[in-house]
């Protein structure tokens, strides 16, 4: 597995692929890869001639007192995952390769970044949009792959690509879960045994909301209240947010129709976890 450290070398390799008429897929990650990431790489390998996996813990998307320093890292482990999943190379730059010391340019967005995770992480999506834009310009992929677990991020990236006219197809891929329902996340490694068990409340509460929708409930406030109450039955859980929004525009809804994203962020002990479901209402209520 090739591990490329510099932008110039990566660009040279990709230009060679392009000259051969090969398509290129990009899977942006912050490393410490799990089966969720693996599913993105496998999908990319099935739809492109070559696949680049970026492995970079991006500091600009972390806020003050967040887990930048403790975020798990293991490039050797990541390389094994990438090779087994069908990637062709890993782009693993140092901080100084991605950001000049006097860098003062960012890519930012309004509206879609204000709610959900943006309420308590106000600079997060500016960092996400900036680093993803840089990766798009460095790799020039035909397609880029993102997981549905980060539903707000996926919506933000899709809007950014549309608004800035990036000639890239954004492919959203399903959430990959553990056998007991917990959404796979690199931050799951922070959980001790008791917290790991408590974390199941996220999926359980989302399934409660989905069941209410399937039974015909369209009052967003009632479903939100039921989800909140369910989460509050877990002593180790502390809610950051529980929101029901329109899936593409991320706008709050009162009476639900169309595609509805139910998104939650919950602290289990000191670890902040996110999860979501999307439900499609077939016709107006």
Phi first, then psi: what are they for 159, rounded to 5°? -70, -40
**Residues labelled catalytic:** 37
Angle subtended by helix axes 75-85 and 35-47, to nearest 10: 40
DSSP string, the chain: -EEE--HHHHHHHHHHHHHTT--EEEEEE-SS--HHHHHHHHHHHHH-SEEEEEE---GGG--TTSSTTTS---HHHHHHHHHHHT-SEEE---HHHHS-TT-------SSTTTSTHHHH-TTHHHHHHHHHHHHHHHH--SEEEEETTSHHHHHHHHHHHHHTT---EEEEE---B-TTSPBP-GGGGG--HHHHHHTHHHHHHHHHHHHHHHTT--BHHHHHHHHHHHHTTSTTEEEEEEEEEETTT--B-SB--SEEEEEEEEEETTEEEEEEEEEE-SS--
């Amino acid at each position: 597995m090739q591990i490329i450290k510099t932008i110039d070398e990566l660009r040279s390799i990709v230009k060679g692929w392009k000259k051969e008429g090969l398509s290129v897929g990009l899977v942006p990650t912050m490393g410490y890869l799990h089966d969720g990431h693996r599913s993105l790489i496998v999908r990319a390998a099935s739809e492109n001639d070559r696949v680049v996996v970026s492995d970079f813990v991006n500091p600009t998307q972390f806020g003050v007192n967040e887990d930048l320093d403790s975020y798990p890292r293991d490039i050797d482990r990541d390389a094994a995952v990438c090779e087994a999943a069908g990637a062709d190379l890993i782009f693993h730059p140092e901080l100084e390769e991605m950001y000049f010391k006097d860098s003062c340019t960012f890519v930012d967005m309004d509206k879609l970044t204000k709610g959900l995770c943006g309420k308590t992480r106000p600079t997060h999506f500016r960092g996400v949009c900036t680093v993803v834009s840089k990766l798009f310009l460095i790799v020039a992929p035909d397609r880029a792959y993102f997981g549905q677990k980060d539903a707000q991020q996926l919506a933000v990236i899709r809007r950014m690509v549309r608004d800035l006219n990036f000639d890239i197809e954004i492919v959203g891929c399903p959430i990959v879960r553990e056998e007991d329902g917990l959404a796979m996340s690199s931050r799951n490694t922070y959980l001790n045994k008791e917290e790991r068990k408590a974390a199941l409340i996220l999926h359980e509460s989302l399934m409660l909301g989905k069941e209410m929708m399937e039974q015909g409930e369209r009052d967003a406030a009632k479903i939100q209240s039921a989800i909140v109450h369910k989460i509050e039955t877990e002593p180790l859980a502390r809610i950051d947010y529980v929101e029901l929004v329109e899936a593409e525009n991320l706008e709050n809804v009162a009476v639900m129709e169309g595609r509805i994203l139910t998104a939650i962020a919950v602290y289990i002990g000191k670890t902040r976890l996110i999860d979501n479901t999307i439900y499609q209402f077939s016709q107006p209520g």
